[in-house]
Structures are given as C-alpha cells and as structure tokens.
C-alpha cells in the first residue's frame, strides 16, 4: 500500500454530530464534578494542603458558554 493511500484512510474518520459531542461533553462534566476532589488529590498530592476540601466547589462552565456564545452557536454546538 502506498503512503498516500494510508494517509487518506487515516484522514477519513466517522463524522460525529454536534448533538453527540454536546452529550459526551455533558457526561464528562458530570463525571468530573462527582470526582473533583479525588481528581485533585490524585493529580496534585503535594498540594493538598492548599486545597479547601470543606467548601463546595463552584463550576463555571456556563460562564464560559456566555463568553463564547457567538462562536459555539455558529458551529452548531
């Protein structure tokens, strides 16, 4: 098989709908919110004394959408 043919096969990927991407994004956000403190403890074990595990975190995912609403609406996401 020629190099060009191999490259063409790699480029052809399944098209994923914007609705599927949004659904997957929502699932990922939910998982991260559920395991947030465990995530911090695992990835930043030396910095645990800086983290206040007593207070509930505030996730700002909706604020990001407000800042870039025009960009995401044009792409259909």
pLDDT recorded at residue 20: 75
Interatomic CA distance for residues 16 and 56, integer angstroms: 35
pLDDT recorded at residue 28: 85
Q: Where are the domains of the chain?
A: 18-71
pLDDT digits (tens, 9 = 90+) for 9-56: 555 556 777 777 777 778 888 888 899 999 999 999 999 999 999 999
Neighbour count for residue 11 (Cβ, 10 Å): 7
Alpha helices, H only, 1-77: 3-11, 18-34, 36-43, 61-67, 69-75
Reply yes or no on whether the pLDDT at 71 is more than 70.
no
pLDDT recorded at residue 66: 77
């Amino acid at each position: 098989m020629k190099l060009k043919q191999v490259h063409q096969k790699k480029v052809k990927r399944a098209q994923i709908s914007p609705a599927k991407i949004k659904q997957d994004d929502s699932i990922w956000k939910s998982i991260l919110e559920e395991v947030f403190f465990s995530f911090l403890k695992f990835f930043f074990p030396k910095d645990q004394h800086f983290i206040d595990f007593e207070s509930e975190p505030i996730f700002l995912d909706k604020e990001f959408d407000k800042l870039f609403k025009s960009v995401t609406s044009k792409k259909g996401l």
